[in-house]
Structures are given as structure tokens and as C-alpha cells.
Amino acid sequence: MSTINRDEVARVAALARIDLTDEELDRFAAELGVISDAVAAVSAVATADVPATSHPIPMSNVMREDVPATPLAAEAILAGAPAAEDGRFMVPQILEED
């Protein structure tokens, strides 16, 4: 049985400065209650001989080898730019600075 009720949701929402309607309070209390019950059910089944995991299978990051290469020439890069000046990209001014 869930311990999350409408009053608890309203208290947490007030702490977070979230304005919820009466319907939202009722809905979130019910949804959080279901989540709480599901966590309790998993906790009841969990045993000490089963390690906690975040994924059912081991994960590894596959990365390509970092091989230095000759960079593109500035002229080649700027050739595709809509506007360039003095070897730099030209963009519209967004601040009131010179």
C-alpha cells in the first residue's frame, strides 16, 4: 500500500514552487503511488546474493582510435561559409558592442 497521498504531493509541489490543480494533485498522487508500490515489490524480491545492476547486460563504450590527421586549410573551410572576412567567419552582430 502506497504512503503517497494527495497532501504529500501538494507539500512537495509547494516546496518546488509548482502550482498544481486539484485534478493534477489527485492524478500525481495515484501515479506516484503506483511507482512506489512497484519499487516496494522489486525491493521485496531482491535478495542479497543478486547484485544491483543498471543494465541487464554488461555495457562497454566503443570508440574509434584517435589518430592525428592534417587539418583542413582555413581557405577550404571558409569556402563553404556564407560570409568570411580576414580568415574568419562573419556572423550577424548580436550585442551592442564594437
Instruction: Give, for 41, the enclosing helix (H) or strand (E).
Output: helix 22-45
Q: What's the CATH code of the domain at 23? A: 1.10.20
d(CA 29, CA 4): 6
Secondary structure of residue 89 in the 3-state scheme: strand
- Domain ranges, residue 31: 6-45
Residue 86 lies in a domain: no
> What pTM did the predictor assign?
0.48
Residue 1 lies in a domain: no
Whether 8 shows a pLDDT value over 90: the answer reads yes
Instruction: Give, for 84, the enclosing helix (H) or strand (E).
Output: strand 84-85
**For residue 49, what pLDDT is reported?**
81
Domain count, the chain: 1
d(CA 84, CA 78): 6
- What tens digit of pLDDT does each residue of 29-77 get? 999 999 999 988 888 887 778 777 788 888 888 888 999 999 999 999 9
